[in-house]
Amino acid sequence: MLKTVDSSQLRVGMSIHELDCGWMEHPFVRSRFVITSEDEIRRIRQAGIRGVTIDCARGLDVADAPTVEEAAAITEAEVTAIAAKPVAPLRTTVAEEYHHAMAIRRQAAGLVKTVMQDARLGKAVELDRVAPVVENVTASILRNAGALLGLSVIKNKDDYTFLHSVSVCTLLVAFCRSRGMDADTIYQAGIGGLLHDTGKALIPDHILNKPGRLTDEEFAIVRRHPKDGYDILCRTGGISDIALDITLHHHERRDGSGYPDRQGEDAISELAQMAAIVDVYDAITADRCYHKGMPPAEALRKLYEWSKFHFNPALTQAFMRCVGIYPVGTLVLLESGRLAVVVEPHETSLLTPKVNVFYSTKSQTYIKPEMVDLARGLGFGGGDKIVRHESPDKWQVDPTRFLALAV
């Protein structure tokens, strides 16, 4: 039996089935092992890991700990209870904005690649080339956030570093806008999001793209990238304090387990905390050479669990309201047995977005795409309900193909 426990409950003799943490965060070669010493427990706690799955059939039990299924049910109930806030009215449909968003994304990824190359050569970042890209991202978010946000889940493994920066910029701009921040703050946050990983330009490729777990020495090099990026951007004329703060502190954690300064919650700025949430969300939804990305809906539930220790819970819930419990681009299974891709959030209800239906699980065939508004009744373009989110790999479908078909 698998159970979920807090790391404070670990004892020698327990069998670790999974360490509940983000990518590259735990200090062990394997994720499954029997604890043989107090030193192993200490290392788990020092890494900031709180949630642990133990295998009671292979090691000691914790009698009152919930099973994995029970813990997941508790999280799901709490997530779905998060109240929705009205979203801003859309100026265009996803279909109308989709191709603009694709062009903006390509432009932004190309710029980040150039910035990284220049940084490796010791050149300063040319802010006048960055500004128009962030302005384009912001304009697209204002027209219809779903198009760029839906594209954020698509990443080529070889270009991950560049596309991740674009996604963080996009998500952070949308997050700031949903919280009613002023235009200049949103713009500066977008600059910070796009340039937050500039320091990775100084990480050797064999470490940055290593398919296996990093050694302690390699991890120490990776942990230098926020400070390296900060130093590079300090040489850039006109860079704002907001962008510098996001770059330096997007890996800090509320419980003081982050880096480079191990700041606690009170010391981390609001925008840096928001950037940390966005950065982790995008990282864990991406396929990498050393791990498979989570579906967006599952990633949000992980963020919610981690917010008890690592992230500001109120900000995490605000981010969930921003992107929706089922973010744009999420594959969902409906009660009718059909698969659909989420294309637009409902104005007030996170559980009833607009979806584009395109596949029948009963016949295991594609069907004619159909827009369904889950907030409306049968006969009024609705009449179905989300059962759960699904993995595209399970059904071997690409839901993002049907975003551009939404009307």
**Domain assignments of the chain as residue spans, ordered by start:** 2-80, 94-323, 331-402
Q: Give Cα separations from 89 to 25, 84, 163 (angstroms).
A: 39, 15, 27
Per the CB < 8 A criterion, the answer to whether 39 and 102 are in contact is: no
Is-contact 152 291, C-beta < 8 A? Answer: no
The confidence score (pLDDT) of residue 380 equals 52
Strands (E), 232-314: none
For 240, counting Cβ atoms within 10 Å of its Cβ (0-12 exposed, 13-18 middle, 19+ buried), the class is middle
Taking the alpha carbons at both ends of the chain, their separation in whole angstroms is 46
What's the CA gap between 156 and 152, in Å, rounded? 11
- What pLDDT does residue 147 have? 87
Handedness of CA 221, 157, 16, 298 (dihedral sign): positive
Print pLDDT tens along the chain (407 aa): 999 999 999 999 999 999 887 655 666 767 789 999 999 999 888 888 889 999 999 999 999 999 999 999 999 888 888 755 666 667 788 878 988 999 999 999 999 999 999 999 999 899 999 999 999 999 999 998 888 998 887 777 768 889 999 999 999 999 999 999 999 999 999 999 999 999 999 999 999 888 877 888 998 999 999 999 999 999 988 999 999 999 999 999 999 989 999 998 889 999 999 999 999 999 999 877 667 788 899 999 999 999 999 999 999 999 998 998 899 899 999 999 999 999 888 777 788 888 999 999 999 999 999 989 898 866 555 679 999 999 998 999 999 889 877 54
pLDDT of 89 reads 67
Taken in order 381, 326, 104, 357, the sign of the CA dihedral is negative
Q: Which residues of 155-194 are buried (b: 16+ CB within 10 A; e: fewer)?
A: beeeebbbbbbbbbbbbbbbbbbbbebeeeebbbbbbbbb
What pTM value is reported for the model? Answer: 0.90
- Give the C-alpha distances (Å, rounded to integers) separating 28 from 10, 213, 214: 16, 8, 10
* Other Cβ atoms within 10 Å of 389 Cβ, number: 20
> What pLDDT is stored for residue 407 in this prediction?
46
State residue 291's pLDDT score.
73
Query: Contact 390/355 with Cβ under 8 angstroms?
Result: no
What residues does 2 pair with on adjacent strands?
55
* Torsion-angle region of 122 (φ positive above 0: left; ψ -120 to 50: alpha; else: beta): left
Residue 86: the pLDDT is 61
Pairing relation of β-strands 51-55 and 33-34?
A: unpaired
Distance CA 344, CA 61 (A): 44
CATH number belonging to the domain at 94-323, selected among 1.20.120.10, 1.10.1740.10, 1.10.3210.10, 2.60.40.1120: 1.10.3210.10
- Rg value, the chain, Cα: 21
| Token output for 284 | 């864990």
